[in-house]
Amino acid sequence: MFDQYIGISPKSDLILLQTLGEKLHKRTFLHINSTREGGGVAEILQRMIPMLGELGIQARWEVIEGDAKFFDITKKIHNAIQGNIEDITEEMWQHHYEINKKNAEKLNLEADAVLIHDPQPVPLIEFKKTGVWLWRCHIDVSSPQEEVCDYLTRYCRKYDAAIFSVAKFARAFPIDEFIVSPSIDPVSEKNKELTRDEIGSILEKFQITADRPIILQVSRFDRFKDPIGVIKAYRLVKKYNDCVLVLAGSPATDDPEGEKVLDEVREYAANDPDISILLLPPFSDRDINALQRSATVILQKSLREGFGLTVSEAMWKGKPVIGGAAGGIPLQIIHGVTGFLVYSVEGAAFRVRQLLNNPVMAEEMGEKAREHVRKNFLITRQMRDYLSVWYAMENKGRSILEL
């Protein structure tokens, strides 16, 4: 499996990964999050855990369980961290803690390194037994509701270190903090090359014709992804350029608002025959791959975004991406080089028309976008970073290259 990345990932990343694998050989590495399907965290872990095993590290992945009330609360916490004003009572915080306490009684938390992903399982630190404990925040925390952030800090400050996706997300915690951007797997079902026939059969399945330019956004149906804004931008473009719009996404088991937002999007689309709204089942990686490869222009018009894996996915396929200038998206899109950053519906529509009317520029941007992803946002680099953080926490002051 590891050999598949030779000739794709930067050689330096592969060499350092092998060195770290030797240093951490047969050590245990536990990851914990709140869902096995839907969303970027689960997607990364599905690919990363077996690869860590191939490096000789005993990696495990556990998922916490909770009732509907728990996930309603954690969605409120998620929204508050991203800037919404939410009323989270002391009773809600207590329920959040109690669910984690029940999970701690069932899970084996013993490992040399434990990486806790996002706010849902953050109270598990109260049940730490051994090892280095790291809290990984994948969320855009650039302008949070401060009282919610302060409450979470009660837990976060007890970790050995915190990891954020972008430097501006880092908080003033009294612990070490690291910046590790997320990544995509270039050889996965979602990102590997597809033949023209394979792409055509998937478009036919969804009754999408390729005789007109396709504008695409792939994301969860979440208000922070601004699907309504995408439809508004499409309608502005449609006045001048004949095109179709595809909004595609899969549900996440830890997102109770998804169905409600999907209903709002369908209502706003108003049965427009040129808008396809696709609710894909989990693990529809091949379908998403084909949609991204067939698209003319890809949008990720997020209002808040921790990183936005769909941006790097599209860039890897040589596509110019128009993204909201939010969170981790500017880390991926170099404005005017690998795509465009926008701040409004009108700005998004303007950039879509610019790319539709300048196919040579779109192709050149796409080529630069792919190389930017290859150098910075492949899974081998993220694994390298995680293992480097673990090694650094256990060996402060020592270089990984020391024998």
What integer is the mean pLDDT of 329-354?
97
Please state at what angle helix 359-376 crosses helix 309-316, rounded to 10 degrees: 120
User: Rounded CA gap, 111 and 132, in Å?
Assistant: 8
Q: What is the reported pTM? A: 0.90
Q: Which domains does the chain have, with CATH numbers?
A: 2-183+378-394 (3.40.50.2000), 196-376 (3.40.50.2000)
- State how far the Cα of 384 lies from the Cα of 24, in Å rounded to an integer: 12
- The pair of structure tokens assigned to 300 is 């990720």
- How would residue 170 be classed by pLDDT, with cut points 50, 70 and 90? confident
pLDDT-derived band at 399, boundaries 50, 70, 90: low
Q: What pLDDT is attached to residue 168?
A: 81
Environment class of residue 83 by beta-carbon count within 10 Å: exposed (0-12), middle (13-18) or buried (19+)? Answer: middle
pLDDT digits (tens, 9 = 90+) for 216-268: 999 989 999 999 999 999 999 999 999 999 999 887 767 778 889 999 999 99
Confidence of residue 166 (pLDDT cuts 50, 70, 90): confident
Which pLDDT does position 29 carry in this prediction?
98
Kindly report, residue by residue over 40-51, the tens digit of the pLDDT.
Answer: 888 899 999 999
User: What single-letter amino acid sits at 144?
Assistant: P
**Mean pLDDT score of the chain:** 93
Which stretches of 10-168 are DSSP H helices? 11-23, 40-54, 68-81, 90-106, 146-156
68 CB burial (10 A radius; 0-12, 13-18, 19+): exposed
Structure-model confidence comparison of residues 330 and 170, the more confident one: 330
Give the pLDDT band of residue 402 (cuts 50, 70, 90). Answer: low
Q: Kindly give the interhelix angle for 379-394 and 40-54, rounded to the nearest 10 degrees.
A: 70
Residue 396 has pLDDT above 90, yes or no: no
